[in-house]
């Protein structure tokens, strides 16, 4: 039986430093890599729906709590229509008859990525809290 010592075994040639999988100057936190990937893939973009809702809340103030963005159609016969649910008939009347054009213009001015052609409203009363239903 022939035994070879570690000194007599053939050695692999050393890789140049730039070919190594790990280089001190290239290492970075995983969070930075994931953040860069998320930005490149589009996961960090704010959706048109979120932009419109943010403008809507700013324009209506506390009354926005009585509304909900139901639908934002991007194609079909309702393309460009933002549909809102309103839980108060008085607010519905105000929005539909007095503030619709003002709100529409503000949304068009501030949300450049989606063109809102029209705003539709519909009344839907919220059920009272369970404690009040007796």
Element (H, E) at 54: helix 48-60
pLDDT digits (tens, 9 = 90+) for 71-90: 888 778 888 899 999 999 99
For 41, the token pair is: 């893939």
Q: Which CATH architecture has domain 48-125?
A: 2-Layer Sandwich (3.30)
pLDDT of residue 6: 57
The yes-or-no verdict on residue 129 having pLDDT over 90 is no
Q: What is the arithmetic mean of pLDDT over 56-63?
A: 93
Evaluate whether 119 touches 104 at the Cβ level (below 8 Å): yes
pLDDT of residue 106: 93
Average pLDDT over the chain, rounded to an integer: 80
pLDDT range class, residue 132, cuts 50, 70, 90: very low
Matching residue, tokens 């008085």: 90
Domain locations in the chain as residue ranges = 48-125
- Closest among 70, 58, 64 to 119, alpha carbons compared: 70
77: number of CA atoms within 13 Å, CB side?
A: 0
């Amino acid at each position: 039986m022939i035994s070879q010592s570690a000194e007599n075994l053939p050695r692999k040639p050393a890789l140049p430093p730039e070919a190594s999988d790990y280089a001190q100057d290239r290492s970075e936190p995983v969070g930075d890599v994931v953040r860069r990937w998320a930005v490149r893939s589009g996961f960090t973009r704010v959706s048109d729906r979120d932009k419109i809702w943010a403008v809507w809340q700013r324009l209506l103030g506390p009354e926005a709590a009585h509304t909900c963005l139901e639908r934002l159609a991007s194609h079909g016969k309702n393309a460009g229509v933002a549909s809102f649910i309103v839980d108060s008939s008085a607010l519905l009347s105000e929005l539909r008859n007095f503030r619709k054009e003002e709100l529409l213009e503000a949304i068009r001015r501030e949300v450049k990525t989606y063109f809102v052609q029209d705003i539709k409203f519909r009344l839907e009363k919220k059920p009272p809290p369970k404690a009040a239903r007796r």
